[in-house]
Structure 1
Amino acid sequence: MILYFSGTGNSRFAAEVIENRIHDTCINAFDYIKNGRKGDFHSAAAYVFVSPTYSWRLPRLFEKFLKSSRFSGCKKAYFVMTCGSEIGNSEPYLKKLCSACGFEFMGVQQVIMPENYIAMFSVPDKQTADGIIRNAVPSLAHAAELILQMQPFDAHKVSLADRVKSGFVNNLFYKFIVSARDFKVKENCIACGKCVSACPLNNIKINDSKPVWGNDCTHCMACISLCPVRAIEYGSASQNRNRFYNTYHPNDMVK
């Protein structure tokens, strides 16, 4: 079984590529998380968890969901983490999660996808993003082959900097950076409500025909990336930056 969380579509795409190759059930955790539902899953084959990388770790909301869910059947667990550059020292935290959930950790596969953390980084243009996505497919195919063979993923070399980023920096990130306070809406907002639907934590409401953000944000960047008229900004950081929302499917990348 493939279980994925995706904010702007990269991890959804990765999960679908793997699904096409291992021919197993693929489930989007978004509806579970948005509706506050715990999962109760059974799989005869290995579990494959696909998600983005938030500050060199698994997103905390996805980790919380996995810990609150029940898993029966096969106890092998693979992790596939999409990222703009690297996943740091995420492995020991995934092993700890597996221990809490009763899984056998089978490794984590890093998959480079288009950067979408517009609050801090530049987002590639469409042509560049297309190339990055296409280049990610072989890595996903390799991961799928190892999953089919029930073989562990290759180990990653980890530096001291990686340990600092996934540990100390990750904690600072959630304490000081992850907040909705800098989101703002411009006058060209059409009140379509797509940002409301896209928020996994129900942190956005429409008030007087404009979105209003609450205090429960995970910085998935779905709202700002999905806005059809670019009416949402994140302070001054997102101004004049590209927006990227991955709508591709595996067959789109077939030459």
Structure 2
Amino acid sequence: MKTVIYYFTGTGNSLAAARKIAGALGETELIPIASLADTPGTIAPDADRVGIVCPVYDCGVPVMVARFAERLDLSQAGYTFAVVTMGGIGVSALHQLNGIFNRRQNRRLDAAFAVKMPGNFPPLMRSVPGEKCGKTLGRADRRLAEIAEAIGSGRSVSPGFEPVSWLVNVLSYGPFVKGTRNAAEAFSVSDACTGCGTCTRVCPAGNLTLTDGRPAWGRRCELCCACLHFCPTEAIQLNVMLGTEGRGRYRHPDLTVADMVSQRGE
């Protein structure tokens, strides 16, 4: 049985989750959503099972993922699922996807899952220390094994309901969506920048360019913070909420720069 999993990742948690599920299911194709962001028209996968794996942003899905879901035709899929990775709460992101599919195709996901992984938005939470991070990833792997078993069995799974997640989504997700495209003003770069260009390569939205050897942000930001987390000198800061100075950096231990570059189909 063929499975297609579409994924979006900024620091590797969702890609690691997609790989874990794919390895358990077999005969699975992983397709980065970022590689399809600029392609026109409907996307109709030729597969028995179709899934989306992505992170939670402000108790919703990334803007790029929401726009992708609007274009995804699930009419030929026998079984559909979604998995969201999150540092705290975010089941409402699964309800958001259900709402998109129900409104456009009169169909809901057959199964929806949430898995906790290390948080990676420094203005809100500090990076998890090594030993604690390892334990969190270990628990996530066990949870992902359970998720893969449920998907492989074709089980119907409800996303459940988190009142706080729903409330945060209602209050914060709209402003988040409006603010992402103007996030350029919130980033800064210090003199520690070496002009290596890593930030421009890892951005899944292709939103950064080097100008006079320093990164410049455009108007396609997803606020995934890949640029910030991958900067080898920690020269990039995001100046919102508590800021990011001294709050650590994170990326999944299996994630590479090459993984991020290939996410854009390059």
TM-score bin, normalised by smaller chain: 0.7 to 0.9
Number of the residue aligned with 2:79: 76
CA distances 1:137-168 after superposition (whole Å, capped 9, x unpaired): 11111111111111112442332x33221222
1:7 and 2:13 correspond:
no
After TM superposition, the score normalised by the length of structure 1 is: 0.88
Of 52, 55, 59, which residue of structure 2 is paired with 1:49?
Answer: 52
SS in 2 for 1:181: helix
Counterpart mapping for 1:34-113 below 5 A: 36-38=38-40, 40-71=43-74, 73-99=76-102, 100-101=104-105, 103-113=107-117
Residue type at the aligned position of 1:128: K
Aligned to 2:168: 165
CA RMSD of aligned residues (A): 2.1
- Counterpart CA distance in 2 for 1:30 and 1:216 is 12
CA apart distance, 1:41: 4.2
Q: Deviations over 1:109-161 (max 9, x none)?
A: 110011001132211123322221111011111111111111112442332x3
The answer to whether the aligner puts 1:202 opposite 2:206 as a matched pair is yes
Distance in 2, matches of 1:112 and 1:193, equals 31
Q: Which runs of 5+ in 2 are unaligned?
A: 256-266
1:102 Cα deviation (Å)? Answer: 5.8
Q: Could you tell me how far 1:206 is from its partner in structure 2?
A: 0.4
CA distance in 2, matches of 1:88, 1:154: 10
- State the match for 2:130 in structure 1: 126
CA contact (8 A) 2:63 2:177 kept: no
Change (3 A) 1:26 1:156: same
Structure 1 vs Structure 2: percent identity of aligned residues? 24
Report if aligned partners of 2:69, 2:97 keep a CA contact under 8 Å in 1: no
Alignment match of 1:245 (pick from 246, 251, 260): 251
Q: TM-score, normalised by structure 2?
A: 0.84
Query: Does structure 2 conserve the Cα–Cα contact (< 8 Å) formed by 1:40 and 1:70?
Result: yes
**Cα distance change of structure 1 residues 91 and 188 upon mapping to structure 2, 3 Å threshold:** closer
Q: Secondary structure at the match of 2:45?
A: strand
Secondary structure of residue in 2 paired with 1:96: helix
2:261 is matched with none
The gaps in structure 1 that reach 5 residues or longer are: 250-255
Length, aligned pairs only: 246
Partner of residue 183, structure 2:
179
Paired residue for 2:30? 26
